[in-house]
Structure 1
Amino acid sequence: MENFTSPNKTLGPWTDRSMTYKLISTFLVLIICALGIVGNVMVVLVVLTTKHMRTPTNCYLVSLAVADLMVLVAAGLPSVADSLYGSWLFGHAGCLCITYFQYLGINASSCSIAAFTVERYIAICHPIRAQSLCTYTRAKRIILSVWISTSLYCVMWFYLANTEELVYDNATVVSCAYKVSRNLYLPIYFFDFGVFFVLPLALSTVLYGLIARILFLNPLPKTKSQNGHSAGTKTNGLKSSSQCSSTTAASRRQVTKMLAVVVVLFAVLWMPYRTLVVVNSFLNEAYLDAWFLLFCRSCVYLNSAVNPVIYNVMSQKFRAAFRKLCSCSPQAQGKQTAYSVTLTYSAVKEVSVMESTEHFSTEMDELTEGQEDLTGDGLDK
């Protein structure tokens, strides 16, 4: 990826062939890629193999994990060979295919982030519509359309990338670069930059602002009896319903915080590389310091590797699923099954209690929250 920052197709990091650079770059990239590949594979496995983890939001996270895997394998691992040997080793076909999968992974990841941001907005700000829009089946259809459209869009890289031979210190060095001129490449890059970076971030900023207004600024309605005291079974049912609503709201806040962290890290970790390419687009001689390019590339790979860590830290259900996948013990499986049954019974009980209350508006609000929690908030609690 780093040779793509050069409109003039210079050697970039290959000009620094010191042993220190080779060792540091190889070790750093290998560690990030290894951890990222293992983590993203675990995300895919726990969602596909655990029934209660198959929610619309988790479906989008699987798409993001697959895109991140593609970035790590197609961009991270080939860069290790570049650092060690200082030349492109994968031939002309490898140049075309690797370039294609690099951009496919990058674009699919940004589209997946935009998709789960819209899903969160509908689920929280429009809970009635969410019952029909935020479903597992619809999420799979949206993800399929995202991957088909981005796959077709990235086909152009088969015609834009090419290998070329350059002479450096009386040695022939092969590079994978562009076969089009700088004037033709810049409009393509800025369109790509706007659609797959600026637009998703702008959309996420607006929608998460609206979500925060609903979740964090509006207090939950409290249901009380007329005299403010307990009134037997009816009041106890109302208290139970209120507690369930509070639990649902807390779960929503936690899920939203986790997804917001994913978006923020996407923006922060991609910013150095994106900024470098924009700046180099206006310079007569591109800035291609090897160590700074290593920093930019490492941030990109780290963005693709860090998401499973975020899920493990901020989501109790992902953390339990990861432990189950690692242990694979019968005791852990039995405990997880019991947890799923308890969760389902609690949600059904909540619906029954709310149907028996007198205040119709409060009933509908709490019922919507309970149903939306089952369909779209299955990440936590």
Structure 2
Amino acid sequence: MKTTTNLYLSSMAVSDLIIFLCLPFDLYRLWKYVPWLFGEVVCRFYHYIFEGCTSATILHITALSIERYLAISFPLRSKALVTRRRVQYIIFALWVFALVSAAPTLFLVGVEYDNDTHPDYNTGQCKHSNYAISSGKLHIMLWVSTTYFFCPMLCLIFLYGSIGCKLWNSKMDLQGPCALSRERSHRQTVKILAVVVLAFIICWLPYHIGRNLFAQVDDYETAMLSQNFNMASMVLCYLSASINPVLYNLMSRKYRAAAKRLFLLHQRQIQARHGQRQLCVIDHISTLNESLTGV
């Protein structure tokens, strides 16, 4: 589980898990948008964590894609260039960059009331502040967030397109009795790479469209359209956090093997504990019989 690829996957799994921790707050906002009952700190921190982990996940996908591109296009050079220590530094830098770039969210969201002078707590909403909208800082943050989507998307298209061309053209160099099976393996890899890019675009494009649409809400009809669209985009967003490990497990045989060994080890530990408990019960019964019979 300590290969460079698995380090990326493990870090991505942490990011996806943290994103799932934000799901109850999103479900509450869909169920009962007003009032917000969890306070100012939770409102700001929930938006910040979601924004930071979303950016971290996208950066991890891009970094892992670059590693795969190097491994397939320059296998000898990548072995010397990509090491566990360097990958650990890269993962740390990705997290720092994602969390720092999401920091403005802490100052752009909050609990807003219909009347700020005499706030009625039954009208509190966890949303972008009026100051963020009037100052234009919200639109700047949206542009930054949108850049987090389109730049990695273009990068993924280029990388996986290059990988696909490399694998597809390499079939001309395949020789020997196993050439057909290796050609099928290459084609299957190209298909998986295409699924990764499509899943990334399908799951995240509606999310960013919904965010920009929500920032332009100024009437009831637009608000209803934005709410319905954001519901669908939220489902796709959390679906992306679910399918990322599945897609990358399909691409990493070593990760699947390590996960299987880990699962079997856990099962063996449970069986060993169960066996120890049975032995303890048997010993206790034997001791009790001896004390009763005096033998």
For 2:5, which of 57, 62, 68 is the aligned residue?
A: 57
State TM-score, norm by structure 2.
0.75
Does the 8 Å contact 1:254/1:315 carry over to 2? no
* Cα separation, partners in 2 of 1:291 and 1:118, compared to 1, 3 Å: same
Does the 8 Å contact 1:311/1:319 carry over to 2? no
CA distance in 1, matches of 2:215, 2:32: 28
CA distance in 1, matches of 2:44, 2:121: 24
Does the 8 Å contact 1:164/1:175 carry over to 2? yes
- Counterpart for residue 71 of structure 2: 123
CA RMSD of aligned residues (A): 3.3
Are positions 1:184 and 2:119 aligned together?
A: no
- Counterpart for residue 40 of structure 1: none
Q: SS state of the match for residue 125, structure 2?
A: strand
Are positions 1:142 and 2:90 aligned together?
A: yes
For 1:100, which of 44, 48, 63 is the aligned residue?
A: 48
Deviation at 1:146, TM superposition (A): 0.5
CA distance in 1, matches of 2:161, 2:189: 15
CA distance in 2, matches of 1:174, 1:211: 50
Deviation at 1:214, TM superposition (A): 0.8
Counterpart AA for 2:207:
Y
Q: SS state of the match for residue 176, structure 1?
A: strand
- Counterpart for residue 288 of structure 1: 224
Q: SS state of the match for residue 162, structure 1?
A: strand
Deviation at 1:320, TM superposition (A): 4.4
CA distance in 1, matches of 2:240, 2:67: 22
* Cα separation, partners in 2 of 1:98 and 1:188, compared to 1, 3 Å: same
List runs of 5+ in structure 2 lacking aligned partners.
270-295
CA distance in 1, matches of 2:121, 2:107: 28
CA distance in 2, matches of 1:136, 1:162: 40
Identity within the alignment, %: 28
CA distance in 2, matches of 1:250, 1:216: 10
Deviation at 1:257, TM superposition (A): 4.7
Instruction: Say which is worse superposed, 88-97 or 78-87, in terms of deviation.
Output: 78-87
Deviation at 1:220, TM superposition (A): 5.4
CA distance in 2, matches of 1:254, 1:132: 27
Counterpart AA for 2:199:
L
CA distance in 2, matches of 1:186, 1:175: 20
List runs of 5+ in structure 1 lacking aligned partners.
1-52, 224-238, 332-381
Deviation at 1:95, TM superposition (A): 1.1
Deviation at 1:264, TM superposition (A): 2.1
Deviation at 1:317, TM superposition (A): 4.5
Does the 8 Å contact 1:254/1:314 carry over to 2? no
Residues 100-126 of structure 1, C-alpha deviations (whole Å, 9 max, x = no match)? 101001100111111011111111112
* Cα separation, partners in 2 of 1:149 and 1:250, compared to 1, 3 Å: farther
Deviation at 1:258, TM superposition (A): 3.9
State TM-score, norm by structure 1.
0.59
Counterpart AA for 1:184:
K
For 2:163, which of 208, 211, 218 is the aligned residue?
A: 211
Does the 8 Å contact 1:88/1:175 carry over to 2? yes
Instruction: Say which is worse superposed, 316-325 or 130-139, in terms of deviation.
Output: 316-325
* Cα separation, partners in 2 of 1:253 and 1:61, compared to 1, 3 Å: farther
Deviation at 1:323, TM superposition (A): 4.3
- Counterpart for residue 27 of structure 2: 80
CA distance in 2, matches of 1:159, 1:283: 20
CA distance in 2, matches of 1:163, 1:72: 22
The aligned length equals: 259
Are positions 1:173 and 2:126 aligned together?
A: no
CA distance in 2, matches of 1:132, 1:312: 24
Does the 8 Å contact 1:255/1:315 carry over to 2? no
* Cα separation, partners in 2 of 1:82 and 1:261, compared to 1, 3 Å: same
Counterpart AA for 2:171:
P
CA distance in 2, matches of 1:114, 1:329: 35
Counterpart AA for 1:268:
I
Are positions 1:307 and 2:241 aligned together?
A: no
Counterpart AA for 2:211:
V
